[in-house]
Structure 1
Amino acid sequence: MRLSSTLRIIAGLGVGLCVAVAAFAASRAPAPTGGPARLLGSYEWTDNGQPDWFGGFSALEVGAKGRTVTLLNDRSHLMQATIERRGDAIVGITPIATTFLSSSKGEPLTRRVLDSEGLAQTSNGTLYISFEGVARVARYSQAAARAQVLPRPDAFRQLPLNKALEALAIDEQGYLYTIPERHPVKGQGIAVYRWDGTKWSRPFDLKPRGKFRAVGADFGPDGRFYLLERDFSVFGFRSRLRRWTLSPIGPLHEETLLQTDFGEHDNLEGVAVWRDEKQRLRAVLVSDDNFNRFQRTEFVEYLLPD
């Protein structure tokens, strides 16, 4: 349901107040991070000199050696950028090119078809993007190409508005996996839908734990499936990162790698797992600031156990 301008302002102030409270609480008593992942650093990317669409980043893919990044925001802007590093820390991000995604007719996306959330990229540069308004997954042979919308199963049409296909990942076989933020049937597991090149299926569900909801996913260079989840309260956002080994009989060996406290980071929605030059396994996460001045675009990196 769309909000009126007045309601949007009220909602924005409400979120801003929650985030401000969270920031104050975090500054007074920083909470330790749960799980075996180790924080490497956090970088805040400001919008100084950036275009008015800057922000709202909900997904990312990281290039070799962690020096390049493809970013997607939730208004269908796709950005390629370079990452400047000093040791383990990100110290700068420089945009290279930006593309506003097109529809299957080659027209700019608007209104309900605009809300892009998940991003997966193949080795040859083909892009797949999941959308939350009108729930669907689209293929782009390149950023500036027309969308090729994959068939929409009935299950996608039943997903709640603004709680639909948040997470998207691609495995070594080229199979796509997408996950809605919330399933329409209360009490069910976390639904995982898979595209095998010809049809969608629901091969398995993931075990929900607590109030966290799926917001991002990736397959790491180790072949395991990673799921980023989010929770929200008056004290701000908290995040969790879990992983599984996917097998013919379903997901195995569930691990919770990371669980932050409220206010420890901003609204983390995108995750990419990669190996650095030392062959260490790392996760980089990006926050969606909801185009809200009380929030921030934050890149966070964690060292993960093998």
Structure 2
Amino acid sequence: MRRRTVCAIILACGLALEGSASPTLPNGYLGSFIWRSEDPRMGGMSAIELDRNGSGFTALSDRGGWTTGRLIRDDAGRITGIEAAPVRLLRGKGSAPLAAERSDSEGLAIAPDGTAYVSLEGVARVLRYERLDGPAENLPIPPEFRRLQRNSALEALAIGPDGALYTLPERSGRENRPFPVFRFRNGAWAQPFTIPRLGSFLPVGADFGPDGRLYLLERQFRGLMGFAARVRRFEIAGDSISAGEVLLETRPGQHDNLEGMAVWRDGGGDIRLTLIADDNFRFFQTTEIVEYRIPG
């Protein structure tokens, strides 16, 4: 039996077992919504960006697909429905979609002027789009990108208050080696600092909040027990970064495979985390959207 099939069976059993336990959810949990669609391209959602009021969204698939839409909320702000356009494919430099072997899109960051940036994991690089339905422009590829582990490369991408891009790989190469953070500013890449590894959690998503701080979503796979998620927050000042603080950590199996995160401020003035799960295009997983509130 192929290794991938064995892993899928283990995951399916683990999610079923853990789901029946109904463990207590962390403080700040607001709710979850399962996004179901008949669109054959729908799935593998690895990144999400929201507008300022937490309604309009852009979501990115790890197979080079993207869609836009609106989160429908009740009076308490909980998600009750989704309206979304059909999933479209990212283009390369011309009019054709990205080649299948080069379309592992993982991170998404959208600038205030609408310019979109996409980080890719297989062949490590960052693409720039004036519009997501337009042609791509390759940002420079530094030598460090070519040395990253294949299929564990640029998983997370965020745009800072000053317009600089920040990205980091899913794996650092060793369990005791911190994650390198790469910054694109003034047309060039640099690696100003690292983020320490804490346990076996791996970075999968990032965003700058309205407070100007960097939020990092991390994932841990626990086999039969399913996935756990953690969110850390960091202060960045020039070429330095704080030690960070853990804001949220879920138990394995509480949610599906959370990979994307948008950080915004709700009407009550609190920071809200909107997290989206990658279902890996498997029938036993879900495209789950989960929200947590961070007081203050």
Alignment of 1:273-284 (within 5 A): 273-284=263-274
Question: Any idea what the Cα deviations from partners look like across 1:50-109, whole Å, max 9, x if unmatched?
Answer: 221111000010012111110000011110011100123111011135431111133211
Alignment of 1:112-261 (within 5 A): 112-184=101-173, 187-234=176-223, 235-248=225-238, 250-252=240-242, 254-261=244-251
The reply on whether 1:53 has 2:41 as its aligned counterpart is: yes
For 2:59, the aligned partner's letter is: L
| Equivalent-residue separation in structure 1 for 2:35 and 2:137 (angstroms) | 32
Which TM-score applies when normalising by structure 1?
0.92
3-state SS of 1:65 partner:
coil
Contact 1:16 1:294 in 2 (8 A): no
3-state SS of 1:191 partner:
strand
CA-based RMSD of the aligned residues comes to 1.6
The reply on whether 1:75 has 2:63 as its aligned counterpart is: yes
For 1:22, the aligned partner's letter is: L
| Equivalent-residue separation in structure 1 for 2:281 and 2:87 (angstroms) | 18
Q: Which residue number in structure 2 is paired with residue 3 of structure 1?
A: none
Identity %: 41
For 1:122, the aligned partner's letter is: A
Contact 2:192 2:239 in 1 (8 A): no
Contact 2:177 2:196 in 1 (8 A): no
Contact 2:153 2:171 in 1 (8 A): yes
Contact 2:39 2:87 in 1 (8 A): no
Which residues of structure 2 form unaligned runs of 5+?
none
Question: Any idea what the Cα deviations from partners look like across 1:130-183, whole Å, max 9, x if unmatched?
Answer: 001110000000011111000111110111111010000001111000010012
Q: Which residue number in structure 1 is paired with residue 18 of structure 2?
A: 25
Deviates more, 1:269-278 or 1:10-19: 10-19
3-state SS of 1:21 partner:
helix
Aligned length: 294
For 2:261, the aligned partner's letter is: V
Contact 2:39 2:86 in 1 (8 A): no
3-state SS of 2:244 partner:
strand
- The alpha-carbon distance between structure 1 residues 249 and 119, as it changes in their structure 2 partners (threshold 3 A), is closer
- Offset at 1:111? 2.5
The reply on whether 1:15 has 2:8 as its aligned counterpart is: yes
Which residues of structure 1 form unaligned runs of 5+?
1-5
Contact 2:41 2:87 in 1 (8 A): no
| Equivalent-residue separation in structure 2 for 1:43 and 1:242 (angstroms) | 23
| Equivalent-residue separation in structure 2 for 1:39 and 1:135 (angstroms) | 34
| Equivalent-residue separation in structure 1 for 2:60 and 2:13 (angstroms) | 26
| Equivalent-residue separation in structure 2 for 1:98 and 1:28 (angstroms) | 34
| Equivalent-residue separation in structure 1 for 2:173 and 2:95 (angstroms) | 32
| Equivalent-residue separation in structure 2 for 1:170 and 1:191 (angstroms) | 16
Q: Which residue number in structure 2 is paired with residue 105 of structure 1?
A: 94
For 1:105, the aligned partner's letter is: G
- The alpha-carbon distance between structure 1 residues 18 and 172, as it changes in their structure 2 partners (threshold 3 A), is same
3-state SS of 1:187 partner:
coil
For 1:259, the aligned partner's letter is: E
| Equivalent-residue separation in structure 1 for 2:286 and 2:208 (angstroms) | 26
3-state SS of 1:217 partner:
strand
Question: Any idea what the Cα deviations from partners look like across 1:184-234, whole Å, max 9, x if unmatched?
Answer: 355321110000031111100011100000000000000000000001022
- Offset at 1:242? 0.3
